[in-house]
Structure 1
């Protein structure tokens, strides 16, 4: 199957999955499920594309293992939040503007299905790789391990902070959150460079760069940091403004004096 056909298959599966997620949120009034299904969809697309790809065994096996594991971990983490908490403030804010309009929410969920296919583009490049050198494979694995360990640590640090009622209305500055306002996003972005190395030698290797590029654009300017920081300012006000002044936005670095 060619690249376009492979991505069309991924998009079709994701559209059905997000359609089911849309129906679920109509009943539960919690749009956070969209993120769970997006993460599972991207991870699942790595497995599907590895299975149907015509590249060598090792890059496809690495793609299925690394991409699938990343998506599963993130989906389970997000599902635990959706199940245990109320609707995320970002989506609650959208609901205050859209209400329960089924058409707007359906379009929103289907846009996320389209994003699954967009983020699967690097996987197509890896799945077509006729060979991968040991050094490239080892580098990809090292990047993946660092990224997943960092994102998991950041998620755990934030969850522990939020679990303490005394921290309500305060900003987490513990651990990695002292050095970046969004360390979880940073490591999620870093993770996409693993597929750049897995695609080295592929005739479609250039497509793998879409992962870190598109993820950075979405995190920095579209759906990640802008939405998250707007919600943080609504809920934490001056405390978060001070955090913005002292702490780098994305790439970890030493904090400045407030």
Structure 2
């Protein structure tokens, strides 16, 4: 691996680890590990800026890729920030459960958990490092397709988040399960479109040498969503808070893909 590739990788890793160290100090002070989600998202725009300035690929390609990551990461981080900061002194259920499981050394374990998040930022950013090293001064069909998938995915993710926020803003819906809009078809349309965004980065990177390597990014995201911090933790918390209502919702909807519905019903409108 050339020094031109290693430099942005090393700078990104050091920067993300430092950021997460400060985030851990804040989380320890307010006793809310949920803020890690905000900065996990914001770390990707930070990496986008780093690869833009420290990679020597084709300028137009760097601008497009960096803009894609900046727009997506800032939108997601801002969305999560509004949610977490609205109840900063009330830790989200899945992190509160981890705190209980990891007692009496929860703070120490959370530190390494936060550092693991920083490492995952850099690992998942493989497409960014690959694309911004490509010096070919012409965009390929893969880059046009990847960008098109990204447009579709970010609109879908923003729509799912907006629909859920709209549902939660109605006090009459307290304790209820959101089954409106995309949430009628899928229990996690936001996760689906989040994964699709990573697919778009992978497809975009296929126009660059070694782009196939970045298939690891959507693969890792898919694994995490289905087996680690995504769907399992979210659904366990929903079952704890909503009980039978959410259990019935689980039986009627697809866990992930938003165009499948297990029951033949007419979608509700929002």
Alpha-carbon shift at residue 236 of structure 1 (Å): 1.1
Residue in structure 2 matching 1:93, options 91, 97, 119: 97
Alpha-carbon shift at residue 240 of structure 1 (Å): 1.1
Cα distance change of structure 1 residues 165 and 96 upon mapping to structure 2, 3 Å threshold: farther
Alignment of 1:206-217 (within 5 A): 206-217=212-223
SS at match of 1:192: helix
2:44 paired with 1:39: no
Q: Deviations for 1:139-195, whole angstroms, at most 9, x for unmatched residues?
A: 222211111111111111111112222222221111000111100000010011222
**Aligned mates of 1:88, 1:2 — CA distance in 2:** 41
Give the match for residue 248 of structure 1: 254
Residue in structure 2 matching 1:72, options 71, 74, 77: 74
CA RMSD of aligned residues (A): 1.8
Give the match for residue 166 of structure 1: 172
Cα distance change of structure 1 residues 141 and 47 upon mapping to structure 2, 3 Å threshold: same
Alpha-carbon shift at residue 134 of structure 1 (Å): 5.3
Q: Deviations for 1:50-94, whole angstroms, at most 9, x for unmatched residues?
A: 321122112211111001111111111111111112322111222
Alpha-carbon shift at residue 36 of structure 1 (Å): 0.7
Cα distance change of structure 1 residues 206 and 254 upon mapping to structure 2, 3 Å threshold: closer
Please list every run of at least 4 consecutive aligned residues from structure 1 whose deviation after the TM superposition is greater than 4 angstroms: none
Alignment of 1:89-238 (within 5 A): 89-99=93-103, 101-131=106-136, 132-133=138-139, 135-238=141-244
Assess if the C-alpha contact under 8 Å between 2:187 and 2:256 holds in 1: yes
**Aligned mates of 1:249, 1:43 — CA distance in 2:** 29
Alpha-carbon shift at residue 242 of structure 1 (Å): 0.9
**Aligned mates of 2:6, 2:247 — CA distance in 1:** 45
Return 5+ residue gaps in structure 1 as ranges: none
What's the TM-score, normalizing by structure 1?
A: 0.93
Give the match for residue 56 of structure 1: 58
What's the TM-score, normalizing by structure 2?
A: 0.89
SS at match of 2:243: helix
Alpha-carbon shift at residue 221 of structure 1 (Å): 1.3
Assess if the C-alpha contact under 8 Å between 2:5 and 2:55 holds in 1: no
**Aligned mates of 1:95, 1:165 — CA distance in 2:** 29
